[in-house]
C-alpha cells in the first residue's frame, strides 16, 4: 500500500464521530486505506451476496455480530442498514466504531444526511494524486505516458497494462454500476454517451447538444450525466458567479476525474498518439483540474473550484477562493512558455476588484514544461509541481 494523504483526516474524524464514511470511485483504494488505518476492526464486504442478504433481511441481527465495530465495505449495497446504525450509535456513541465505504456518492450522502446527520464524518477518496502516485516504484517520468495511464492504483500495483485494465474497468462499470444507480435499459446507448462525454472533457456542458449527438432526450442526457457524476467518473466545474456587469457565461464545465479513462474511451492506444491528439490540451486541462480537486479532497476539504468565462473572450480555467485570497489558474499543455500564456490575468483581477472583492488575486499558469518560475505577477508552474498550488492556497486564512 502506498501512503494516502486522507489517512490523517480519516483518523481525525474517527476521534470525533462514531461513524466515518469514505466515498469514491471503485478501485480508488478505499478498502485498502480503511483496512490499513483500522487493522483491529473486522472487515465485512457487502458485495458478498450472503453478507448483503444478512444485512438487508436482518439488519439488527447483522449489527449484533459487530458490537465492537467494523468496516462495512460498499455500504450502498445495503442502504437500509444505515438507518439501523443510527439507533446503534445513539445507544453506544463510541468514536470510530464504524467505518463505511461506498462508491455511489449521491446514494451514500443522501442516506447519511437522512439517518446519520451529526453522527458521521464524510470523506472522499479519489485515485492517487501525482505526489501519492510517485510512491509506486515504476511511475513514468513522461507527462503523456502518465496522462495515458491515468491514476488508478491497481495499474501500478499489479503492473497491468493500462489499456487492458481501463478497458475492463469501463466494461464492468457499465454492466454493473450503471444498472445499480439508475435503470438504464440501453447499455449500448449509454456506452456511446460515455464516449461522447470523453470527447467533451474540458468543455462547457450543453445538454441539448450532447443528448442530440447521443440520440437521446435532454432529460435522459441530464439523468445519464448524473449517473457518471454519482459514480465519480466525471465532475462538473461550475462557473464563477460574481456581481459583474459583463456578460458572463454560466454553464458548468465537464471534467473527467481520470485522464486514462478518457484516453481509453477515445481509443488513444499509446502515449505517442496522445501527444499529437487534437484533444491533448483538453485532456491535460482535466488532469490538472483533477489534481487540484484531489489536493483539497484528500485533505478532507470541500474542493470549491470554479471556472470563469466572459462571452467576449476573457476566461480562466480554474478560480479558487479561500479567505481573502483568490487564485486564478490557466492551463496550457505546451512545454514551451509563450507570452500568450499570461494574457488576461490583469483584466481578471480588475474584474474581481470591481465586483467588490477586496482581497489578493494571485495568478498561475500550469503548463507541460519542466521549469517553474515567476514571471512578473504570474507564477509559471510545471506539471510536476501542480500540487504546490493547493498547498499554497490552503495556507491562506479561512474567512472569519
| pLDDT digits 0-9 by tens, 237-276 | 999 976 555 567 889 999 999 999 999 999 999 999 999 9
Which pLDDT value is given to residue 375?
83
Which pLDDT value is given to residue 247?
65
Q: Give the range among 131-135, 324-328, 363-367 with minimum mean pLDDT.
A: 324-328
Going from N- to C-terminal start, the domains of the chain cover 6-124, 130-279, 305-394
**Could you read off the pLDDT of 22-67 as tens digits, one per residue?**
999 999 999 999 999 999 999 999 999 999 999 999 999 999 999 9
Which pLDDT value is given to residue 400?
41
Nearest 5 degrees, angle CA 148-CA 149-CA 153?
155
By percentage, how much of the chain surpasses pLDDT 90? 75
**Stronger pLDDT, 358 or 288, i.e. the higher one:** 288
Which pLDDT value is given to residue 1?
84
By percentage, how much of the chain surpasses pLDDT 70? 95
Which pLDDT value is given to residue 397?
52
Q: Give the range among 184-193, 261-270, 328-337, 340-349 with minimum mean pLDDT.
A: 184-193
Per-position DSSP letters for 285-311, written without gaps between them: HHHHHHHHHHHHHTTT----EEEEEBT
Which pLDDT value is given to residue 5?
97
Contact 77, 179 (CB under 8 A): no
Q: Give the range among 263-267, 290-294, 315-319, 322-326 with minimum mean pLDDT.
A: 322-326
Taking the C-alpha atoms of residue 381 and residue 209, their distance in angstroms, rounded to an integer, is: 35
- What is the mean predicted confidence (pLDDT) over 324-346? 93
**Stronger pLDDT, 229 or 111, i.e. the higher one:** 229
Fold of 130-279: Arc Repressor Mutant, subunit A (1.10.10)
- What is the mean predicted confidence (pLDDT) over 283-302? 97
- Using CA atoms, how far residue 29 sits from 21, 34, 154, 361, in Å, is 14, 9, 9, 36
**Which SS3 state, helix, strand or coil, does residue 90 take?**
helix
**What pLDDT band is residue 105 in, cutting at 50, 70 and 90?**
low
Which pLDDT value is given to residue 113?
72
**What pLDDT band is residue 122 in, cutting at 50, 70 and 90?**
very high
Return the CATH number of the domain spanning residue range 305-394. Answer: 3.40.1350
**Which SS3 state, helix, strand or coil, does residue 203 take?**
strand
Return the CATH number of the domain spanning residue range 6-124. Answer: 3.40.50.300
Which pLDDT value is given to residue 110?
73
User: What's the whole-number average pLDDT of the chain?
Assistant: 91
- What is the mean predicted confidence (pLDDT) over 333-354? 92
Classify residue 264 as left (phi > 0), alpha (psi -120 to 50) or beta: alpha
In this predicted structure, the answer to whether residue 366 has a pLDDT above a threshold of 80 is yes
Based on C-alpha coordinates, what's the Rg of the chain? 22
6-124 shares its CATH topology with 130-279: no
* 325-332, strands of its sheet edge to edge: 305-309, 315-322, 325-332, 360-367, 378-382, 373-375
Which pLDDT value is given to residue 399?
44
Which pLDDT value is given to residue 243?
58
Which pLDDT value is given to residue 244?
56
Q: Give the range among 95-109, 220-234, 250-264 with minimum mean pLDDT.
A: 95-109
- What is the mean predicted confidence (pLDDT) over 214-218? 93
Taking the C-alpha atoms of residue 273 and residue 143, their distance in angstroms, rounded to an integer, is: 13
- What is the mean predicted confidence (pLDDT) over 371-379? 89
Per-position DSSP letters for 352-393, written without gaps between them: HHHTT--SEEEEEEEESSS--EEETTEEEEEGGGTHHHHHHH
Amino acid at each position: 500500500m502506498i501512503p494516502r494523504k486522507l489517512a490523517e483526516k480519516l483518523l481525525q474524524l474517527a476521534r470525533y464521530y462514531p461513524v466515518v464514511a469514505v466515498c469514491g470511485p471503485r478501485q480508488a483504494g478505499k478498502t485498502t486505506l480503511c483496512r490499513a488505518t483500522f487493522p483491529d476492526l473486522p472487515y465485512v464486504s457487502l458485495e458478498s451476496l450472503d453478507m448483503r442478504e444478512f444485512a438487508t433481511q436482518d439488519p439488527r441481527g447483522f449489527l449484533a455480530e459487530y458490537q465492537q465495530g467494523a468496516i462495512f465495505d460498499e455500504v450502498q449495497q445495503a442502504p437500509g442498514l444505515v438507518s439501523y446504525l443510527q439507533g446503534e450509535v445513539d445507544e453506544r456513541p463510541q468514536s470510530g466504531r464504524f467505518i463505511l465505504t461506498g462508491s455511489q456518492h449521491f446514494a451514500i450522502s443522501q442516506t447519511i444526511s437522512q439517518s446519520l446527520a451529526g453522527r458521521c464524518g464524510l470523506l472522499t477518496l479519489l485515485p492517487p494524486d501525482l505526489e501519492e502516485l510517485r510512491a509506486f516504484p515504476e511511475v513514468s517520468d513522461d507527462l503523456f505516458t502518465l496522462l495515458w495511464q491515468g491514476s488508478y492504483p491497481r495499474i501500478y500495483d499489479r503492473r497491468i497494462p493500462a489499456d487492458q485494465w481501463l478497458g475492463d474497468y469501463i466494461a464492468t462499470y457499465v454492466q454493473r454500476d450503471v444498472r445499480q444507480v439508475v435503470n438504464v435499459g440501453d447499455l449500448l446507448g449509454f456506452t456511446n454517451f460515455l464516449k461522447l462525454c470523453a470527447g467533451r472533457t474540458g468543455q462547457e456542458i450543453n445538454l441539448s447538444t450532447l443528448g442530440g449527438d447521443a440520440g437521446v432526450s435532454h432529460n435522459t442526457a441530464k439523468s445519464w450525466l448524473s449517473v457518471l457524476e454519482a459514480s465519480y467518473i466525471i465532475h462538473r466545474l461550475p462557473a464563477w458567479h460574481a456581481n459583474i456587469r459583463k456578460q458572463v457565461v454560466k454553464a458548468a464545465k465537464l471534467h473527467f476525474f481520470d485522464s486514462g479513462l478518457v484516453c481509453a474511451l477515445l481509443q488513444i492506444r499509446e502515449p505517442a498518439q496522445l501527444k499529437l491528439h487534437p484533444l491533448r490540451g483538453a485532456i491535460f486541462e482535466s488532469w490538472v483540474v483533477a489534481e487540484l480537486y484531489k489536493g483539497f479532497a484528500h485533505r478532507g476539504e470541500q474542493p470549491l473550484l470554479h471556472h470563469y468565462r466572459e462571452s467576449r473572450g476573457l476566461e480562466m480555467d480554474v478560480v479558487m477562493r479561500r479567505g481573502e485570497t483568490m487564485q486564478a489558474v490557466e492551463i496550457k499543455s505546451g512545454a514551451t512558455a509563450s507570452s500568450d500564456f499570461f494574457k488576461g490575468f490583469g483584466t481578471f483581477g480588475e474584474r474581481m476588484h470591481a465586483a467588490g472583492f477586496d482581497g489578493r488575486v494571485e495568478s498561475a499558469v500550469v503548463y507541460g514544461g519542466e521549469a517553474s518560475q515567476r514571471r512578473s505577477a504570474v507564477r509559471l508552474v510545471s506539471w510536476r509541481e501542480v500540487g504546490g498550488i493547493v498547498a499554497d492556497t490552503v495556507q491562506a486564512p479561512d474567512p472569519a
